[in-house]
Amino acid sequence: MDLDLSPQDLAFRDEVRGWLAGALTPAFRDLAARTSGVFSEPPHVLDWQRVLDDQGWLVPHWPAEVGGLGWAPLQRFLFDQELARAGAPVLPGMGLKLVGPVLYTFGTAEQKARWLPPLRRGTEFWAQGFSEPGSGSDLASLRTRAVRQANGDYVVNGQKIWTTMAQHATHMFALVRTDPNVKPQRGISFLLIDMAQPGVTVRPILSASGDHEVNEVFLDNVHVPAANLVGDEGQGWTIAKFLLENERGGSTYGPALVADAARLRAAFDALPCAGDPLLRDRLARTQIQAMALELTELRIVAAMTAGDDPGPISLATKLVASEIRQDIELFGTEMLGLDGLALPNTGPERTAAARYLNSRAWSVFGGTSEIQLGIIARAALAL
Ligand SMILES: Cc1cc2nc3c(=O)[nH]c(=O)nc-3n(C[C@H](O)[C@H](O)[C@H](O)COP(=O)(O)OP(=O)(O)OC[C@H]3O[C@@H](n4cnc5c(N)ncnc54)[C@H](O)[C@@H]3O)c2cc1C
């Protein structure tokens, strides 16, 4: 396997790096540095989304007919690497990475034309309504009920939970039960719900850090037009599996972890405790683990470029990334001593405690680490 970059790849990387030097203003860098959760928050992050869209680099992973660029896997990787190195805000993925690909894969021509342009432009903002109280890992047990009316429209009743950034969402894509009388997976459908209508109530859940990132969403006789059903009725589980594969496997984690570990290292080196050999050893191990994950992801990219199946290793990246992320943020608080416990966030160095507390969620969202281990065991060990 050849991991050296070709002259074309190096030229592409330099082009991205050069563009970022101008486009990523101090205000955008500051937004990223202040973010203690996974994604930077609307409305400001949507300004960054539009800067990328204007440059034509917002959805390189989408097919060309819906605005994608058909970049090779390595170009996408290098692009992510440059964004992370430069300290760019992380765009919320619910629209761009989750429902966008669902719409261009399963949606009708009318649905693509209706939903994809405002999603890209950030004039509409999406939340993911999958989890419910009692239905997280066991998603197929979800109970939110959609009943079809004589005219084909739906009336939806139920509750979603842990809905990231629903307080900013104009729309929510949701799994709902349309048929309670068949095998649970067969009775689920995928609906697009307008949040600005009677019957939709968003109630905040504050995280341990005090951040408002997740919510409960209550649906009380909510109207959903027939045109907002994606795929066929009862096809929701198939669509959800496609979406969850994108959520768990379609991301690269190494570049952001390597960049954040390097930032942590720079901050650590300026502290009085920088000479402590035990701390240095611990930080070096974390940095090496981040680099090893990045190299593993490059191996996956190399396999994909060669047209090979990367195999079960690609299932492990989110699990490993969660552990490294939690190590980085724990070290970030500990190296600051008592200052590392400071809340709320009033500046980049004061986000340490919030980042640590929020990092605990990494081993839960998008499928818990235990669930990932089960998937890996079945795929890799053929259990
Ligand atoms: C910060 C954050 C953001 C989130 N954002 C969203 C969002 O935007 N939209 C959305 O729909 N959901 C979201 N979620 C929900 C997330 O997907 C669920 O929390 C997750 O799937 C786990 O489900 P649960 O919370 O019901 O836990 P449970 O499924 O009840 O799990 C509880 C514990 O039991 C373990 N467990 C459960 N089943 C098994 C098993 N079969 N084998 C081994 N161990 C098992 C789990 O690993 C866990 O430790 C978010 C969660 C968090 C923390």
274-324 confidence digits (pLDDT tens): 999 999 999 999 999 999 999 999 999 998 889 888 888 888 999 999 999
Decide if 241 is inside a domain. no
Domain at 291, CATH number: 1.20.140.10
Decide if 246 is inside a domain. no
Distance in Å, CA 368 to ligand 1 centroid: 6
pLDDT higher for 5 or 176? 176
Q: Is the CB of residue 131 below 6 angstroms from any atom belonging to ligand 1? A: yes
Site to substitute for ligand 1 among 90, 139, 162, 209, most atoms within 8 A of C-beta: 162
Distance in Å, CA 370 to ligand 1 centroid: 10
Does the pLDDT value for residue 164 go beyond 90?
A: yes
Decide if 107 is inside a domain. no
Decide if 296 is inside a domain. yes
Cis peptide before 73 (omega within 30 of 0): no
Ligand 1 atom with least separation from CA of 369: 47
The pLDDT value recorded for residue 48 is 98
**Same domain? 212 vs 292:** no
pLDDT digits (tens, 9 = 90+) for 49-79: 999 999 999 998 888 888 899 888 899 999 9
The pLDDT value recorded for residue 344 is 62
pLDDT digits (tens, 9 = 90+) for 334-350: 998 888 887 765 555 56
pLDDT digits (tens, 9 = 90+) for 78-106: 999 999 999 999 999 999 999 999 999 99
pLDDT higher for 303 or 237? 237
Are the C-beta atoms of residues 237 and 188 closer than 8 Å to each other?
yes
Site to substitute for ligand 1 among 216, 322, 368, most atoms within 8 A of C-beta: 368
The pLDDT value recorded for residue 370 is 96
Cis peptide before 310 (omega within 30 of 0): no
**Same domain? 263 vs 359:** yes
Decide if 104 is inside a domain. no
**Same domain? 336 vs 286:** yes
**Same domain? 204 vs 304:** no
**Which of the residues are catalytic?**
247
The pLDDT value recorded for residue 312 is 82
Residue nearest to atom 51 of ligand 1 (CA): 365
By CB atoms closer than 10 A (0-12, 13-18, 19+), residue 309 is: exposed
Are the C-beta atoms of residues 100 and 116 closer than 8 Å to each other?
yes
Decide if 106 is inside a domain. no
- For the residues of 7-70, what is the DSSP string, one character each? HHHHHHHHHHHHHHHHHS-HHHHHHHHH--SSSPPTTHHHHHHHHHHHHT-S-TTS-GGGT---
**Same domain? 273 vs 198:** no
The pLDDT value recorded for residue 3 is 66
Mean pLDDT of 124-145: 98
Residue with structure tokens 């994950």? 293
The pLDDT value recorded for residue 338 is 83
Does the pLDDT value for residue 254 go beyond 90?
A: yes
The pLDDT value recorded for residue 337 is 85
pLDDT classification of 114: cutoffs 50, 70, 90: very high
Domain at 143, CATH number: 2.40.110.10
The residues, ordered by sequence, that sit 6+ positions from 300 with a Cβ below 8 Å of its Cβ are 310, 313, 314, 317
Decide if 110 is inside a domain. no
Does the pLDDT value for residue 270 go beyond 80?
A: yes
The pLDDT value recorded for residue 67 is 86
By CB atoms closer than 10 A (0-12, 13-18, 19+), residue 37 is: buried
Does the pLDDT value for residue 233 go beyond 60?
A: yes
What are the two backbone dihedrals, phi and then psi, of residue 67, each rounded to the nearest 5 degrees?
105, 0
For the chain, the domain total comes to 3
**Same domain? 195 vs 262:** no
Domain boundary among 33, 64, 91: 91
Distance in Å, CA 207 to ligand 1 centroid: 15
Distance in Å, CA 312 to ligand 1 centroid: 22
The angle formed by the CA atoms of residues 60, 249 and 4, to the nearest 5 degrees, is 65
**Same domain? 277 vs 212:** no
> Mean pLDDT over all residues of the chain?
93
Which residues form the domain of 83?
7-91
Decide if 291 is inside a domain. yes
pLDDT digits (tens, 9 = 90+) for 27-51: 999 999 989 899 999 999 999 999 9
Q: Is the CB of residue 286 below 6 angstroms from any atom belonging to ligand 1? A: no
**Same domain? 77 vs 38:** yes
In whole angstroms, give the CA distance from residue 289 to residue 294.
9
By CB atoms closer than 10 A (0-12, 13-18, 19+), residue 15 is: exposed
**Same domain? 223 vs 187:** yes
pLDDT higher for 305 or 121? 121
pLDDT higher for 357 or 3? 357
